Amino acid sequence: MTASFQALQEVADRVLNTAIEQAIFGAAPLTIVKSPPGAGKTFLVECASAVATDKPAMRVVVVTPGVSQLYDVVDRLLGYSLPRLELAHAKFRSLPDMLADRITASSGWAETLNVGPGVVVTNAHLLASYLHKLRPGTFDLMIVDEAYQLAASDFMPISDLATRIMMVGDPGQLNPVISADTSNLEASKHKIHWSAPAYVLDRFPETPIFELPVTRRLLPDTSNMIQASFYPDLSFQSIVDPCDRRLRFAVSGMEPAIDQALDAIARGASLVAITVPGGAPAHEEADLAVAAVMAKVADRLLVRQAEWVGQRRLTEADIGCIDPHVIAGGAISDQLRQCGRDKIRVETVERWQGLQTPVSIVRHPLSLAGSPTAFDLEAGRWCVSLSRHQLGCIIVGRESIASVIRDYVHSCDTVAAGARDATWLGYRAHRTIWNVLAEQGRIFAL
């Protein structure tokens, strides 16, 4: 690690340590930690849990928005010598294979949970469903992981279960899923449809905030684009040494555009794009031509024997495909099966949030027929898509993306006066990313 990266690392460690100290021992009962992608949010949750259960001997509850997230947290916490570690999930659920025989889960809330210092990991909805069995102050510390994915309406009912609260999350990624029209709520005093941290800061702006200043996942060139496009209010830098994240191929390229894009990654460009001629087919939910190119990119990575220099030769498990839509993702899976690469993971953006992979292949959400919708332009969804990779990300879409961005006309009457216009912010992020890729010669046309 170079001296500059080492200095950034030391600053980041100090911020992390101070945030934990203030959350556990500080005067304020609630602390918020904002984090960019790959900054070590889960590591912070682990450290806070370990510190709180040591000399303070606290009863800690780690709350996640979803179930898969709580399993990941438990998997990580099993590596610590905690006085007690317990998992509570719904009665109908079974432990995933990675936790089988490693921990005994409580199906629902058991009376024997939370006795003495230790950690209970659960999700917000289960905790709320057992409020009749829990009293205010049941826990000494509540740590809300991925807090920006948790709606304030889901957080408020459980907020008094702990005397101290620490929220940890990424403000640039997907907002909570709300299955109702929230337009009118933007004009209300209590914006309960906002994420829990955003709601708290709106109501209590003096709440202590700590900002993690680095990303430990993204290479500097990707980090710079992501920060400028999605995090104007959160300054961070990459502390990844490009010398430790090099991609090398044992076999030379021969496919136009596809191998050129892969070779660009090997030369140090960690974010590139490939465009397919023409526009997306009208009235079709899946673009088979784009799906075929995405499968071909994955196949070429393996045929050319891609290697993470100093680490290992890449396998199907090291490649992930990301598509905003389930049906379009299914077309990618079909194409991968046809070329014998069925072990490559294909998921929607929501499923990929919080995960990482050495190489990601992403379908551009503006590779479509007609005008983009708010869903297509949503900034958080695009941010997640472009921030999962450790070595390289290949965006695949139609050449019409440039004209879709150029010709887009934004309607200004879709949000309440003075409210944050997420669709416009997403459009600006799309425009910025695509313009940078074009200016730097990172778009390869088939």
Is residue 67 over pLDDT 70?
Answer: yes
What percent of the chain shows pLDDT beyond 90? 78
Q: In this predicted structure, what is the pLDDT of residue 4?
A: 77
Q: Where in the chain is the domain with CATH 3.40.50.300?
A: 3-215, 220-445
Q: What is the mean pLDDT of residues 269-276?
A: 97
Q: In this predicted structure, what is the pLDDT of residue 175?
A: 79
Class of the domain covering 220-445:
alpha beta
pLDDT tens column, 373-432: 989 999 999 999 999 999 999 999 999 999 999 999 888 766 666 667 778 889 999 999
Q: In this predicted structure, what is the pLDDT of residue 298?
A: 98
Q: In this predicted structure, what is the pLDDT of residue 283?
A: 80
Residue 112: pLDDT band (50, 70, 90) is confident
**Do residues 212 and 39 make contact, with C-beta atoms less than 8 angstroms apart?**
yes
Q: Tell me how far apart the alpha carbons of residues 284 and 278 are, in angstroms, rounded to a whole number.
A: 15
Q: In this predicted structure, what is the pLDDT of residue 179?
A: 62
The single-letter DSSP state of residue 410 is -
Q: Label residue 350 exposed, middle or buried (CB < 10 Å: 0-12, 13-18, 19+).
A: middle
Q: What is the mean pLDDT of residues 328-348?
A: 95
What percent of the chain shows pLDDT beyond 70? 95
Lowest mean pLDDT among 1-15, 325-339, 425-439: 1-15
Q: What is the mean pLDDT of residues 205-228?
A: 95
Q: In this predicted structure, what is the pLDDT of residue 419?
A: 65
Is residue 43 over pLDDT 70?
Answer: yes
Beta bridge partners of 59: 118
**Higher pLDDT, residue 111 or 196:** 196
Q: Tell me how far apart the alpha carbons of residues 93 and 78 are, in angstroms, rounded to a whole number.
A: 20
pLDDT tens column, 230-245: 999 999 999 999 999 9
Is residue 49 over pLDDT 70?
Answer: yes
Is residue 284 over pLDDT 90?
Answer: no
Residue 16: pLDDT band (50, 70, 90) is very high
**Do residues 317 and 350 make contact, with C-beta atoms less than 8 angstroms apart?**
no
Q: In this predicted structure, what is the pLDDT of residue 184?
A: 64
Q: In this predicted structure, what is the pLDDT of residue 180?
A: 63
Q: In this predicted structure, what is the pLDDT of residue 185?
A: 65
Check the CA dihedral 166-22-387-202 and report its sign.
positive
Residue 325: pLDDT band (50, 70, 90) is very high
pLDDT tens column, 143-198: 999 999 999 999 999 999 999 999 999 999 887 766 666 666 666 777 788 899 99
Q: What is the mean pLDDT of residues 12-19?
A: 93
Q: In this predicted structure, what is the pLDDT of residue 190?
A: 79
Q: Which of 14, 34, 33 is nearest to 23 (CA)?
A: 33
Query: What is the SS3 assignment for 28-69?
Result: CCEEEEECCCCCCHHHHHHHHHHHHCCCCCCEEEEEECCHHH
| Four-way CATH pick for 3-215: 3.90.180.10, 3.10.180.10, 3.30.420.40, 3.40.50.300 | 3.40.50.300
Check the CA dihedral 21-22-23-24 and report its sign.
positive
Residue 316: pLDDT band (50, 70, 90) is very high
Token pair for 244: 């430790």
Q: In this predicted structure, what is the pLDDT of residue 415?
A: 66
